[in-house]
Amino acid sequence: MSFPVNFGLGLLFGIGLVVSGMSDPAKVLNFLDLFGNWDPSLALVMAAAVIVTFLGYRLVLRRGRPIAGKTFHLPDRNGIDGRVLAGPAIFGIGWGLGGFCPGPAITALGLGATGTLAFVPAMLVGMLAARLLIETRPARAT
């Protein structure tokens, strides 16, 4: 049951990215171009996502358990460390340079966008490198 639910949600997310124009890297780059051809639509999409997520979490967590799972998987850490700072910084730099973040990049790859042919493999290599780095680091005592 979990795979069809996840696939359907991913498909819905991808359709939303295409309909909103967020699979177009020019949209992202124009949002970051404050003194040029600035496009505020990305800020509106992000604000809507924050509102929907905030309300969605409030509603869903009232349930005893998820519809398609046994338990909720929520973060158990709330501290800020080097990973919390470095990860978003690297993500933001890649997003600003390439105009893609992972979801829209995969969606645009399915649409045949040429920039994704370089971006998606580089993104996957970066994800693999980050995972290998984390797995090879010695565990720190807490």
Residue 108 burial class via C-beta count within 10 angstroms: exposed 0-12, middle 13-18, buried 19 and up = buried
In a domain, 116, yes or no: yes
Give residue-wise pLDDT tens across range 12-32: 988 888 888 877 888 878 888
* Number of independent structural domains in the chain: 1
- 107 neighbors 23 (Cβ within 8 angstroms): yes
- Residue 103 domain-assigned? yes
Identify whether 126 is part of a domain: yes
pLDDT less than 50: residues of the chain: none
pLDDT of residue 69: 78
Tens-digit pLDDT profile for residues 47-67? 998 999 999 999 999 988 888
Q: Name the residue range of residue 84's domain.
A: 2-136
Q: Residue 63 falls within a domain, yes or no?
A: yes
Residue 98 falls within a domain, yes or no?
Answer: yes
Which of the 8 DSSP states describes residue 63?
A: S
pTM, 2 dp: 0.63
42 touches 22 (CB < 8 A): yes
Say if 141 falls within a structural domain. Answer: no
